[in-house]
Chain A
């Protein structure tokens, strides 16, 4: 907004709301208001003087800092880190030992009774069946051959 586009009434309204310092005015109107005030200082002198008095009073107000006890209380009320869970085996030690022994026996038994496939095709089919949980395909082939 240019100096020509802002009215005296608007400049007075800005002074009344934001004080005497144009830096506090809204960005869009600041330069226009400043130009108007420079061009016609007599029109705004009284309003500026009143605003300066109030600005001085407000500017003299002390800063408020957070006292230490309040800071501590605020921090203490914050979310706490999730506790790190330390792994500890709570069941009797014979349970995992038994499971491991069963697994070993099962693997050994399975490897002992497994029969090798005879050709490449049969090996491939045996692998497919084995992956599906069957291990009887080669036995079936042998039975068919005997018949």
Chain B
């Protein structure tokens, strides 16, 4: 079934139209799951966050404000749920690694492919939470600066600063892992 817009999907999903519900799930669940997976570094917790996010979405559908952007709202809910979970884990505090900016070292050359993916996933999930969110939304999920800033409820300038710090911290972390 073709839908003219997200508002169309939302209106029909609120009335219980199964095709509209499936369409919303197919359109947005992977993005929410990916965001939660990168933020939390745990597939099972990420699925829980995705379910909770969609439960909140279903409850919000009947009173949906037509001007609101569903994608932004959904990612913001997911991100806040991730922040909540990360705060509960706070007893294991990740110290920000020293920034090692030796341009001669390339983390990609120091790790093989599978190690590299695991290391990057792990390193992202251990970034300070707002850096991880900025990097995931912009560099991994392709959101525009404006969308990512809106989801994170920060200015575009603040987002840019978070991105730069995220990339520096990630690089330092990967070099540290490769060296050890």
Given contacts A54-B167, A54-B171, A82-B16, contact A66 B116 (CB under 8 A): no
For A66, what are the chain B residues with a Cβ–Cβ distance below 8 Å?
A: 25-26, 29-30, 33, 50
- Interface presence of B174 (CB below 8 A): yes
Chain B residue total in the interface (Cβ 8 A): 48
Which residues of chain A come closer than 8 Å to B55, judged between CB atoms?
Answer: 77
Q: Is A124 an interface residue (CB 8 A)?
A: no
Residue of B nearest to A81 (CB): B16
In A54-77, the 8 Å CB interface with B consists of 54, 56-58, 60-67, 70-71, 73-75, 77
Does B163 lie at the interface of the complex (its beta carbon under 8 Å from any beta carbon of A)?
yes
Q: Which of A13-21, A33-41, A107-115, A137-145 contacts B (4 or more CB under 8 A)?
A: A13-21
Assess whether A147 is interfacial by the CB under 8 Å rule: no
> Is there an interface contact between A57 and B107, defined as CB atoms closer than 8 Å?
yes
A71: chain B residues within 8 A (beta carbon): 25-26, 29
- Are B138's CB and A18's CB within 8 A? yes
Contact B25 A82 (CB under 8 A): no
Contact of B29 with A49 in the complex, beta carbons under 8 Å: no
Query: Which of chain A's residues have a CB closer than 8 A to the CB of B155?
Result: none
Q: Knowing A56-B108, A58-B140 are in contact, say whether A78-B13 is a contact too (CB < 8 A).
A: yes
Contact across chains for A70 and B33 when beta carbons are under 8 A apart: yes
Q: Which of B18, B62, B120, B140 contacts A81 (CB 8 A)?
A: B18
Q: Mark B97-121, 1 if CB is under 8 A from A, else 0.
A: 0000101001110000100110011
A26 at the interface (CB under 8 A from B): yes
* Residue contact A77 to B51, C-beta cutoff 8 Å: yes
- Asked if B7 is an interface residue, CB under 8 A from chain A, the answer is no
Contact (Cβ within 8 A) A81 B17: yes
Interface residue count on the A side (C-beta < 8 Å): 35
A116 to B16: give the CA distance in the assembly, Å. 59
Contact with A along B133-172 (1 / 0, CB 8 A): 0010011100001000000000010001101100110110
Q: Can you list 30 A-B contacts (CB < 8 A)?
A: A16-B164, A16-B168, A18-B138, A24-B139, A26-B156, A53-B107, A54-B167, A56-B108, A57-B108, A57-B116, A57-B120, A58-B139, A60-B116, A62-B117, A64-B33, A64-B34, A65-B30, A70-B47, A70-B50, A71-B26, A73-B51, A74-B50, A74-B51, A74-B54, A75-B22, A75-B25, A77-B51, A77-B54, A77-B58, A78-B54
Could you list which residues of chain A lie within 8 angstroms of chain B, going by C-beta atoms? Answer: 13, 16-19, 24, 26, 46, 49-51, 53-54, 56-58, 60-67, 70-71, 73-75, 77-82
Q: A64-B37, A70-B50, A79-B14 are in contact. List 16 more A-B contacts (CB 8 A).
A: A13-B160, A26-B145, A60-B120, A61-B120, A64-B30, A64-B33, A65-B30, A66-B29, A66-B50, A70-B51, A77-B55, A78-B13, A79-B21, A79-B61, A80-B16, A81-B17
What are the 7 tightest A-B residue pairs by CB atom distance, in nearest-first order? A81-B16, A64-B34, A78-B21, A17-B163, A17-B164, A66-B29, A16-B164
